[in-house]
Amino acid sequence: MGLDQYAYSRPPRKRNSDNDIQIAEWRKHNRLQGWMQDLWESKGCPNEDKHGDDDDDDAEVLFNCVPLQLTEEDINSLEDAILNFEFPESNGFFWGSDSYFWTDENNEPHADNDYWYKESDLQFVKDARKALEKKHRIFYSCWY
């Protein structure tokens, strides 16, 4: 069990997930999750899923299994956060260790200007931009 994260593109004029193309996958990248959750909240929690009684004003709203559409502006902001080490410190019960301070496969600490997921994060930005050029919509989703 843990935090699983996905990004996918959806071709133009397609409304359902049958034609989605996965373009990224992460496991327990807690800082990316925190950044995406902040973005989701700034957009007014679209597609929110309340956990609890629907009539309960105190029902918890979680950013879990909720598709978040990313715009070109969002992708640009994400790239800035990646390059400037601006992901928020984030944690959750199944979210794993701090994704900035993991060591590499040789058990060596990462350099100050690097982190465990940096390469895959930048590849996602590149792939998302290519998909946006083809008029695809980009989505992020997580499950924990």
pLDDT for position 6: 97
Residues in the chain: 144
What does the alpha-carbon distance between residue 89 and residue 98 come to, in Å, rounded to a whole number? 7
Rounded to a whole number, what is the largest CA-CA distance in the chain? 52
pLDDT for position 61: 78
pLDDT for position 48: 82
pLDDT for position 99: 78
pLDDT for position 130: 98
Among candidates 133, 143, 141, 144, which has minimal Cα distance to 39?
Answer: 141
The per-residue pLDDT string of the chain (144 residues; one tens digit each, 9 = 90 and over) reads 689 999 999 999 878 788 999 999 999 999 999 999 999 999 999 988 665 455 555 556 789 999 999 999 999 999 999 999 899 988 877 777 777 776 666 666 566 667 889 999 999 999 999 999 999 999 999 998
Among candidates 35, 34, 24, 38, which has minimal Cα distance to 119?
Answer: 24
Q: What is the pTM of this model?
A: 0.84
pLDDT for position 141: 96
Q: Phi and psi of 49, rounded to 5°?
A: -125, 110
